[in-house]
Every structure is written in structure tokens, then in C-alpha cells.
Structure 1
Amino acid sequence: MKQHFLWIAVFTLFALAGCKSLQEKGNDQFLSGQYQYAINTFSQILEQDSTNLEANRVIGESYRLSNRVEKAEPYYRQLAEEEPSFNHYFFLGQSLRAQQKNEEAKEAFEKAKSYTSDEALLARNQREIEAINLAEGIDDYWPKHELVNYKELNTPGPDYSPVLSEDFLYFTSGRQASGLYPATGTPYTKLFRARADGLKVDVGAIQALPEFRNEEGLNQAAIAISPDGNTIIYARGNSTSIKDLPETALFVSYFRGAGFTQPIWMPVNEDETWWNSTPAFSSDGEELYFASNRPGGFGGIDLYKATRLANGDFGNAVNLGPTVNTPGNEMFPREAADGKFFFSSDGHPGYGKLDIFVAENDGSGKQTIKNLGENINSKGDDFGIFFTEYPKAGFLSSNRADGVGDDDIYYFEDKTPKPKIVNVLLNVYTKEAKADGTEAVLPQTRVVLYGSDNKQQGGDFSNTNGRVRFTMNVDSDYTIIASKGGYFSKSIPYSTKGKTPDPATLVQEVTNVSLDTTIVLDQLILEKAIVLDNIYYDLDKADIRPDAAIELDKLVKILADNPTIRIELSSHTDSRSSDAYNLDLSQRRAQSAVDYIVSKGIAADRLVAKGYGESQLIVQNAQTEEEHQTNRRTEFKVIEIKE
């Protein structure tokens, strides 16, 4: 029995010694950034002791620092239960949020509050809670855009950051890798290209970047190509060699006559220990956007903008500010031709990890940030947007659950249904008014169509049937003017609003709607009196009443439509006063009418006011009020037609 217990004791000592050896090995791996190796090592310890806090801490941190925080939940949960602290609850909340376990995440963030009094940490924690609440009300930025995995282009490893330049699609991929990246356990990445026409990529002829050679044993990624195609910038880093640069940095290659130069480290990196990556050119190539963790930012990784210098380098990097940047991470910038700025972030309200956002000006110079919505973003990482036809089509990258491998390339298209076309065909019939009150066809009448902007949309002479046809737009306002020698020209408003079917109810791609209208012209005869109906005055007064103004406005329109005529406007009274009084009253009334017309913009020299009193009675010896009213009238007649 003693021997049995001795054997157990010896075995335990060997096991503890083994654990200590594993722990030292794992810590070395963690401190050197070999996060996946550290995860593998400490997982062996957890198999023997699932409550080992150091193992839980290193694995949780390794997943978080290698951008896989969603896998860190069980380790931070164990830490929060055994050693509750702000960081443990905060990172647990981030892991839960990355999985869209929003209610559990908010509960973890609420618990984190009680373990710190640091205002900066509390503000960051509150921002996480608010981001979850705001994410619940996100609308799709492009509701009709559809996202599709480009399966033929992707591999089981990472494929991301596509950029189209000069009929080639350039992208980052883990294919042809010579080793694994210790931080994530995924293949080292290189730069590749394939011929492409918009979204159509020749996936059968993918080749390693020919402009310069990919290096072995490190990551080359996130390529940017200047608009003129003469400058290539990309991120290079994560080498395992102690002789190499300690951090990811931007490298540049220039086209010089026969080919591209060997890539060199860019001065815009500034410091070898700063992480710089995900470059993108502005639409004119004069500015370089990139992500960096350099000091003085607003969070982990911020976006910066550098300007092209006289020597061709980029410098004077400027942080894009707190509207774009957050205490989280912002990267993968993309400026659109219309000034909108697209980028990826895990700090703005979103669906979990990196989402794609757009910064746009609201018209007053203020920027607003909008999440592109769940038809573009997912609870995974979504990043690296590039437009082949802005904003209708392009590529992006994502490691969402339905992918082929790790990061995958997706393409998107605007699938908005083509609108049904409705052609409005308007038949305008021209007629003349006869003396007997009938109407007759008036051929060879000039008919002109004007849009709401007063620009001519068409014009022609009516045919022998008095018809002219115009093609018009739906829901639009027009003016139609008809003119013919010897007739008063006339303009009429015409609207197609409410006269066509709703396109949503149509089945055919093209529907023609035929409408009719008629314009009746009056003969223009010199010295022929034309009575203006309903021109009334109060007893013994010459003021223009509102009802009279309505009728006078019709005369204003006639004068406006016929700018070459000059008229006499006359007023007549009945016989129920002295001749002298009636003559004076009629003259005052005629002048009042002329003054009113002049106030509407008609030149005074086109009008003559004439009061005739009771000298031109229509009904002699009038007895009834109706007969007196017939005599009390206002008339006009054309007295001159200017050529």
C-alpha cells in the first residue's frame, strides 16, 4: 500500500514538473507573439487542470490579441468567476458581443463597472453598452445589394483585400504558403493577381505577384495601387527572424521604366516598433490612408492620412479624428469618388467584430458614421471593401460562418429591379372657335411643349386632323403653347401626374399610355369687341373686386401669350345716371382695370383705357336689372398688331 502511494506521489511530481515546463514554454510563446502556439501549449495544461487561471488568462488573451476574441469566452468567464476584475468582465463582454450574445454581453459590461473608478475605462465600457443598443436599430445602407461568396476564388486558407487595377484583380492569399503564422496558426500570406473584368475574375490563371517577388516566412498583405498604376504599397511583417523588422510596416515599389523597383520601407512608418498596415490611395492618388497603432491615437488602431511630398514619398500623417476613430480598432480605409469614406471598425455600433462603415458629410461639414447594415456585415470580420462600379458593385472580405475557409473574398451587386418604363404619348388637338359657338379642326397650328424648367421639349405643326403628338414623362408638369397667324395664341398647363398606372403594378417592361387634350384658338380680328364676362363693380365705385380680378387675369394671360398685340380696354355703364357722371365713372373703371393688368407685368404702352359711359348701350330702354347688367360691361379689342 505504501509502495502504491509512493508511485502516485512520484507520478504527481513528474506531472507537476511537466506542467511547469509547459507553462514556461507557453509563456515564452505568448510573449513572443506566437499566440496559436501558446494556445496549443496551455490547452494541454487545461486538459489536466481546467481551473488553472494562468492557462485561462494566456489562452483568452491569445485569442483576443490574434483577433479571435469570440473564442475567448470560456477562458474569460473562468477568470471573471475566480478573479473578478474590470478587464476580465470587459473582455468577457467583448467576446460575448462578438458572438452577438448581446444581453449576456451587457450583463458582463455592467459587472465590469464595479471593478474600476478610472473614468477612461468607465467611458470605454459605457461605449460598448451603447454600441450594443444602437446596433439593434441599424438599417441597411444599400437595401437591394446582395453579397455572394466568390467560392471559385477562395481557398481553405485566408483570401482577402481585393483591389482592381488595369484589368487585374490583386489580392492577399495564404495559397502557396511556405509555413504557418505562429500568431494565428494560419498560412503566411502572399500577394497574387488574376485577370478580371469588373466582377468577372479568371480564377484559372491566378499567379503570384509578378511586379516583384513575394518573400518567404512572413506576411505580405493588403495591397494598394495608385490610380495611375505606377506605385504599389503593401503591408509586410510578422517575420520570425530576429534580424527582421519587429513590427508590420508599409513597403512601397515604384514603376521605373522597365519594371517595378524592389520594395522599400516607407518613411511614413516613422518608427519600426509601430504597427502600420491596410493602405489605400485617395481617388486622385495624392493622399495615402492607412491604419496605425502609433501613440497619440484614440484607441488600439486608428486611421491616418498622409500627403504626397515633392519627392514622391508620403508624409505628415494626420489622425482622422474621433468621429472616425474610436477606442476600438479602425482599419481598411477606402475613399469613394464622391467623397464618402468607407472603413472597417469594431468600435462603432455593429454586429460583433469588424463591420464596414461609411463616413459622409451631412451638408454642413459635419461627418456622420453609418453601418452598412446586415446585408453587408455579419457577426464576423467584414473589411477591405473595393468598388468596381461605385456604388453598385464591388468586392469585400469576410470570415463569416458560411465561408470556404478563413477570410474569404465576396462580391456584391445592386439587385434593385429595373424600373418599369412608362411612355406617355399626348395627342394635342388644335381647333378654332366659330361665331356660332361650335368648334372646327384648325390644321397647321404651331404647337410647342415646354417642361417645368421652361425649356422646350418639342414642337411641331398640327396635321390635317389638327393633331400633334408628344412623348412626355410620368408625374411631370408642362406648358403647351399653340399659335397660328390670325388667331390669338394660347398657352395651357398640362400635367401627367395621376394619369399613369403605378409602375409597381405593371408586368410588361414598357407600357405606353395615350392621353388627349384640345386647345381652342379664337380668331384675332382688329377692332372686334370681346366682352369680358363677370367684371362687376360695386355701386358708384371703380375698385377692382376679387371676382373681377379673376376675369382680368385671363386677359393678362392672353396679352402674355400674344406679345405683339395692343388693346383698348373699355368700360360701359347703364343709363341710370347723368351722361357726364356715367362717362367719368366708366373712364375710372377702365383705368382701374388697365392699372391692374399693368401691375401683373404687362407693359402700359400696350393698353389704352377708354370709358364710354352709356353711349354704346346694347339694350336700349332697358327695364329689368338683367338688361341693365348687360349694358354694364367691360370689353377689349385689338387695336394694333405689331410685326
Structure 2
Amino acid sequence: MKKATHSVRFAALWLPLLVLLLQASCTSLQQKAQNQFSSGEYQMAISSYSRLLEKDPDNSEANLFIAESFRLSNRIENAASYYEKVSESDATFESAYYKGKSLKGKGEYDSAKVAFETAQTLTMDDQKIALAEKEIQNIEALSEVEPIWPNHELENYELLNTTGIDYAPVLSENYLYFTSSRGAGGLYPATGQGYTRLFRARAEGINVDVQNVQTLPEFQNETGLNQGAIAISPDGNTIIYARGNANAKNDLPEVSLFASYFRGGGFTEPIFMPVNGEPEYWNSTPAFSADGDTLYFASNRPGGLGGIDLYRSTRLANGDFGNVVNMGPPINTPGNELFPRPLPNGDFYFSSDGHPGYGKLDLFLAQKENGGVRVKNLGANINSIGDDFGIFFTDYPKEGYLTSNRPGGKGDDDIYYFKDMTPPPKVVNVLLNVVTKERLENGEEQVLPQTRVVLYDANNQTIDGNFSSQSGRLRFPLEPDKAYTMIASKTGYFSQSVPYSTIGKTPAPEELIQDVTNVTLDTTIVLEQLVLERAIILENIYYDLDKAEIRPDAAQELDKLVKILKDNPGIRIELSSHTDARASDTYNQDLSQRRAESAVEYIVSQGIDASRLEARGYGEQQLLIENAQTEEEHQVNRRTEFKVIEITE
């Protein structure tokens, strides 16, 4: 329950001054107004004191009690001008501080900051100075707040809301439960609104059957008091809600938590819960943990960090809740924290006016981070200068409900629903057309049908595979900005692995216009015939004069052979070296053998099993050009070749 809380930090110092003013009354209208204020009938007190101001606009007492009536009935945004009048005649820390709170509640941040700075000059109390400084820091921190869900949008649930109060929806077993002043039998004198009761309507997610809203059927709403925020256990067998603000002398004047349990086919009459503590404590806004074994709620009991703090209580062996513990900083602050919402993943949502926010209550998320807890404002697309509270997710974090009394609503507190309106990402479909060919002996290429091509990702995991058609064609769907490998194979041909990348071959995301963009790419894979004993020349294998060591340029060419051997693990080859005829046969034979062995050693160093290789130096025995005369002709004779001598698979 949010309305008309009496939990204010300066009650001990500030309210006694008000009592002294009450005792100094001198007219019947003043007496009536003072009695109304003392009884918590704030709306009536505002009306009576306003009549006094009509005759005496500078009446400091009337201005003060109107301001306080607005503050204590949770309408402090209406109090700034009245606190200003009080400060003109008798400025105090409290009048300046609450003026700042009122201005902040209207979104006038610069003026609010000035008011808080003024308040610091009107006291020597370090605690009060620190409170004002915290408000200043919170205002300054607003510029750093970024929306957690920038594409979430709020919508007032106008068909569900009334011109009165509607707040704190929770969903349980396809019913939306909420609090509302609709159809109230009387007015709550603190706010001038109707007393609130509990209601429900069928709902699926954020879709509510607004035509069939009914009062809570589990037990009867009580008259003459406010039924407030409700919590329902995960199993649906326990209902806990806030109830109070009664005028009857035999009932509790404050707000307390009551519980009703499902027993024997129905719910029991609600009973006062032990977690309430003393009768004068204010307790409200309950919520269950995901397992139902922890109860979270807000309370103003002594020992907290501020006006209202969040507490948790664990279920005892007898089914009751006990062991009440303050949740402490950084969640609780010297301000007010209410409406807890724990989630199964450990995220914890709540409302607060003590953390950097836009007005009064804002919604915050507390998450574990680096061994601690970080509290984050949900952002300006969720929060407003008004009260924003009571969040409930129907599909976390994409959609759900919350409550707000922001400007432009249908009534006082209104129920809003929110949805993630992030536009679907623009899609790029990449299609790779592959043509398989073979290289003929004359160097020309022709289509090679029925060639097996397998596609692998960057982690060498198979993605796709197929045979090319009779026209040598097949197609693979790829993703943008990814690296792939294709391995093509066909009996009688050297298998070949071909790297392929789509990086830089598709439009950048910011350049996309259509929701779906199709990109077609083309590539060709050419296979070489695998013929036993047919020599294949390795180009550009050069050695220094009278040397057999592998030069860097020769290594690059030998790497191509390494790749062939890796792509074709079932072949054994002979690697041969040949010289020209310009030295003795013996010299050339020895040099060519050393060069062939050196080449084989290099290939083995690259991971090829030595048993798959034979080194053979032919010297000048197999000249391609007999009686070579020119250097170019000698170069043709000086060559390195390989041929397949065995196929094991």
C-alpha cells in the first residue's frame, strides 16, 4: 500500500513543531483544520486551510499545514509554493528540503538543486546536511542514467483503469489481481479518494478481460479501510496483502500485512501476520520469492536506513514467516524503498525515491556484479517525474505491468503495460553458388558433375554437403561475416579444400534498408585428375647455387603440395628433383638427390607422415629439352615434380 504513509524521516524533529502550532489556534476554522490534520484527514485539512488562505495568503501556519498535508498524502509535488511561503517568513531546513523534494517531483531539477543547497545552509546537523547532499548528487547523476531496455514502450491500460486509483497488478493462474478504488463505498479522508479494494480479472499475459472485473472471491474486502498491494504464493495457496488506514478505534490505525491460506476447498479469513511487529509499524507491498519460501515487504520499523526500507522474512517450520532482516545497502537508502519484485534469476526490482531518479518513486534493478550488488535506474522510457512502482513481468524481460501516476494518466495511480518493441533485426540471406570443374591436360577447364562438396564452419564442424548437378552446380546458404571451408572430392581426382569467407561481401547492418536482403555469391572449384605415375611439376622451386636448403620462396610452393597431401590422405607420392646437363652426371645426381630429400624433410616438418613420401633425385636423366642452349631452356630442365605412386583408399 503506497498511499498516505506516515513514515517520514524528520517526524521526530519536525512534527513536534507542528503540534505547537496546533496548540496556538485561535479560530473555529483553524481548530477544525487542525483537528483534521491531526486525524490524518489530509484532504479535508487542505480544503479547510485553503479557506483560511483566501483571507490571509501569507498565513504561515496554513501554508505549512497544506504543504505537510500534501506531503503526508503522497502528493508532495503540489507543495512547493506552500513551502516557499513558509520559508519567506521562517525558513528552516525542513521547509527548504521538502520544497526541493516537491520541485523534484515536478521535474524542476535545477530549482530543486538550489532548494537542497539552501537547506544545507539552514542547519548544523551533519545528518541533515548529508541528506540534502545526497539529493543533490542524485540530481547530478541523472545525466548518466541510460535505459536498461531502450526499446520498451509503456501504454496506459485505459480499458482497465478508472478515474480513481488502480495499482499493483500481479498475475497468478491466469488471473490478474490488483488494487482499485472503483465502486468504493466511502472516501478515504487522507487523500479524498475512495477506499481501495482487491479485484481480479482473467488474463493471459498482458491481455486482460476488462469486461469481467470482479472483487476478490477468495475472501471479502472489508469496508472503511484500504486493502492494498497483494502477493500470491507460487503454488497459489497463500495470499498476503496489506490492509489498514482504518478510522475505527478498535482496528489498527496503520497498514499491516494479513495472510489467507487455502484450506479445505476455500481460503481462510485473513489473519494478522507476526512479521508486522508492533501495531504502530507500517508494513506493506509484499512479494514472494520464486520458491515461495521468502517473503519480501516494505516497513518503517525502527533500525532501518530511512523512512521505509525493504525487508525479507523466511518461512518457518510451522508455515509462518519469521526472521525478519533488513535488506540493507545498497538497496535501502535514507529515502523510501517499496514494492520488491524478486526474480528466479537473482535480479531484484524495487521502487525508491532514495536512489538517483526522475521524480518521486522510480523503478530500479539490483543485480549482482563483481562480488557486490549494483543498483540501476530502469531509465526515462520506464520512469517519470511521478510515482513508478509495482512492476510485474509476464514474459521477462519483454513484457509485463507496472503502476504510475505520471501526468497524462486516466486517474490517480494507473496500471500500465509494457512491451519490448525492438524491431526485428534485418536479415541478410547469403547464397553461394558453387561450380565444380576439372582441369584438362591442355590447361583448359570443363564442368565436373557429381562432385561431392562438403561445407565446414570456422571450427571445422560440418554444416552442409551435397553433390554438384550434371551442370556442375550446387548452392549453399551462408551467414554474413563468417569464414568457411569447402572440401571437394571425386573418385579419380585430387580432393581439394578451399577456404571461403563472406567477410566484407555483404552490406553493413547500418546500410540495410529492407527487412530481408538476399546476397548471391559465386565461386568455382577446379579439381586435378589423380593419375598414377603422372608427373606434376611444382612451379618456382628454386635453390641457391650448389645448395639443397629450402629457400622461403620454395617453401611457399611446397606448402601447396602439403595441402594436397592433407586433402588426400590416401595417397603416397614420389617427390623428384631434376637438374640441367651443365655439370657431370655424378655431381648432378648427388645434388638432385639432396634437393629431393631436403624438400621431403620440409614436407614432413609440416605434419605429413614420412611413410607417404619418397625422395628421388634424377639428376639430368629426364631432361625435358635435350641439348638446351638458353638459360630459359636450362630452367625448364631444372625442376621439381611429384607423382602419385600409390592410392591406399
With the length of structure 1 as denominator, give the TM-score of the two structures: 0.90
Quote the offset at 1:172 in angstroms: 0.7
Query: Cα gap change, 1:525/1:335 in structure 2, threshold over 3 Å: closer, same or farther?
Result: farther
Tell me the SS of whatever aligns to 1:100: coil
Quote the offset at 1:18 in angstroms: 7.8
Report what 2:538 is aligned to: 532
5+ residue gaps, structure 2 = 1-22
Q: Which amino acid aligns with 2:158?
A: K
Q: Does 1:484 align with 2:490?
A: yes
Quote the offset at 1:459 in angstroms: 1.4
Mapping 1:101-500, distance limit 5 Å: 101-362=108-369, 364-500=370-506
Q: Which amino acid aligns with 1:250?
A: L
Report what 1:92 is aligned to: 99
**Once structures 1 and 2 are overlaid, which stretch shifts more, 397-406 or 132-141?**
132-141
Query: Cα gap change, 1:268/1:463 in structure 2, threshold over 3 Å: closer, same or farther?
Result: same
Distance in 2 (alpha carbons) for counterparts of 1:576 and 1:81: 115
Q: Which amino acid aligns with 1:181?
A: Y
Quote the offset at 1:153 in angstroms: 0.7
Given that 1:275 and 1:294 are in contact with CA atoms closer than 8 Å, whether structure 2 keeps it comes out as yes
Tell me the SS of whatever aligns to 2:79: helix
Tell me the SS of whatever aligns to 1:46: helix
Q: Which of 626, 633, 642 lines up with 2:632 in the alignment?
A: 626
Q: Which of 554, 559, 563 lines up with 2:560 in the alignment?
A: 554
Distance in 2 (alpha carbons) for counterparts of 1:48 and 1:206: 47
Report what 1:605 is aligned to: 611
Percent of residue pairs identical:
65
Question: Once the two structures are superposed, what CA deviation does each residue of 1:301-345 show, in whole Å capped at 9, x if it has no partner?
Answer: 222333333333333333333222222112122234443322212
Q: Which amino acid aligns with 2:480?
A: V
Q: Which amino acid aligns with 2:498?
A: I
Quote the offset at 1:54 in angstroms: 2.7
Tell me the SS of whatever aligns to 1:136: helix
Tell me the SS of whatever aligns to 2:325: strand
Given that 1:419 and 1:503 are in contact with CA atoms closer than 8 Å, whether structure 2 keeps it comes out as no
Quote the offset at 1:246 in angstroms: 3.9
Q: Does 1:54 align with 2:64?
A: no
Distance in 1 (alpha carbons) for counterparts of 2:358 and 2:194: 27
Distance in 2 (alpha carbons) for counterparts of 1:366 and 1:543: 62
Quote the offset at 1:299 in angstroms: 2.1
Given that 1:570 and 1:611 are in contact with CA atoms closer than 8 Å, whether structure 2 keeps it comes out as yes
Question: Once the two structures are superposed, what CA deviation does each residue of 1:384-428 show, in whole Å capped at 9, x if it has no partner?
Answer: 111222222211111111111100111112222333443323221
Query: Cα gap change, 1:624/1:274 in structure 2, threshold over 3 Å: closer, same or farther?
Result: farther
Quote the offset at 1:582 in angstroms: 4.9
Tell me the SS of whatever aligns to 1:115: coil
Given that 1:483 and 1:490 are in contact with CA atoms closer than 8 Å, whether structure 2 keeps it comes out as yes
Distance in 1 (alpha carbons) for counterparts of 2:49 and 2:380: 36
Distance in 2 (alpha carbons) for counterparts of 1:286 and 1:432: 71
Given that 2:259 and 2:270 are in contact with CA atoms closer than 8 Å, whether structure 1 keeps it comes out as yes
Q: Which amino acid aligns with 1:499?
A: K
**Once structures 1 and 2 are overlaid, which stretch shifts more, 480-489 or 26-35?**
26-35
Distance in 1 (alpha carbons) for counterparts of 2:374 and 2:206: 30
Given that 2:579 and 2:620 are in contact with CA atoms closer than 8 Å, whether structure 1 keeps it comes out as yes
Report what 1:76 is aligned to: 83
Q: How many residues were matched structurally?
A: 627
Tell me the SS of whatever aligns to 1:401: coil
Quote the offset at 1:545 in angstroms: 3.5
Distance in 2 (alpha carbons) for counterparts of 1:415 and 1:575: 80
Report what 2:5 is aligned to: none
Query: Cα gap change, 1:170/1:538 in structure 2, threshold over 3 Å: closer, same or farther?
Result: farther
Distance in 2 (alpha carbons) for counterparts of 1:419 and 1:613: 65
Tell me the SS of whatever aligns to 2:312: strand
Distance in 1 (alpha carbons) for counterparts of 2:426 and 2:598: 54
Quote the offset at 1:277 in angstroms: 1.5
Q: Which amino acid aligns with 1:123?
A: A
Given that 2:247 and 2:253 are in contact with CA atoms closer than 8 Å, whether structure 1 keeps it comes out as no
**Once structures 1 and 2 are overlaid, which stretch shifts more, 185-194 or 523-532?**
523-532
Distance in 2 (alpha carbons) for counterparts of 1:592 and 1:120: 85
CA-atom RMSD in angstroms: 2.6
Distance in 1 (alpha carbons) for counterparts of 2:434 and 2:288: 56
Query: Cα gap change, 1:403/1:593 in structure 2, threshold over 3 Å: closer, same or farther?
Result: same
5+ residue gaps, structure 1 = 1-15
**Once structures 1 and 2 are overlaid, which stretch shifts more, 489-498 or 146-155?**
489-498
Question: Once the two structures are superposed, what CA deviation does each residue of 1:69-125 show, in whole Å capped at 9, x if it has no partner?
Answer: 111101211222222222222111111111111111111111222223433322222
Distance in 2 (alpha carbons) for counterparts of 1:254 and 1:492: 69
Tell me the SS of whatever aligns to 2:553: helix
Query: Cα gap change, 1:317/1:575 in structure 2, threshold over 3 Å: closer, same or farther?
Result: farther
Query: Cα gap change, 1:121/1:569 in structure 2, threshold over 3 Å: closer, same or farther?
Result: farther
Question: Once the two structures are superposed, what CA deviation does each residue of 1:99-155 show, in whole Å capped at 9, x if it has no partner?
Answer: 111111111111222223433322222221121122134333222222111111111
**Once structures 1 and 2 are overlaid, which stretch shifts more, 120-129 or 586-595?**
586-595
Q: Which amino acid aligns with 2:565?
A: L
Report what 1:7 is aligned to: none
Given that 1:19 and 1:45 are in contact with CA atoms closer than 8 Å, whether structure 2 keeps it comes out as no
Distance in 2 (alpha carbons) for counterparts of 1:69 and 1:588: 96
Q: Which of 563, 566, 574 lines up with 2:572 in the alignment?
A: 566
**Once structures 1 and 2 are overlaid, which stretch shifts more, 242-251 or 508-517?**
508-517
Quote the offset at 1:464 in angstroms: 0.8
Distance in 2 (alpha carbons) for counterparts of 1:598 and 1:174: 86
**Once structures 1 and 2 are overlaid, which stretch shifts more, 584-593 or 484-493?**
584-593
Distance in 2 (alpha carbons) for counterparts of 1:501 and 1:38: 67
Query: Cα gap change, 1:613/1:254 in structure 2, threshold over 3 Å: closer, same or farther?
Result: farther
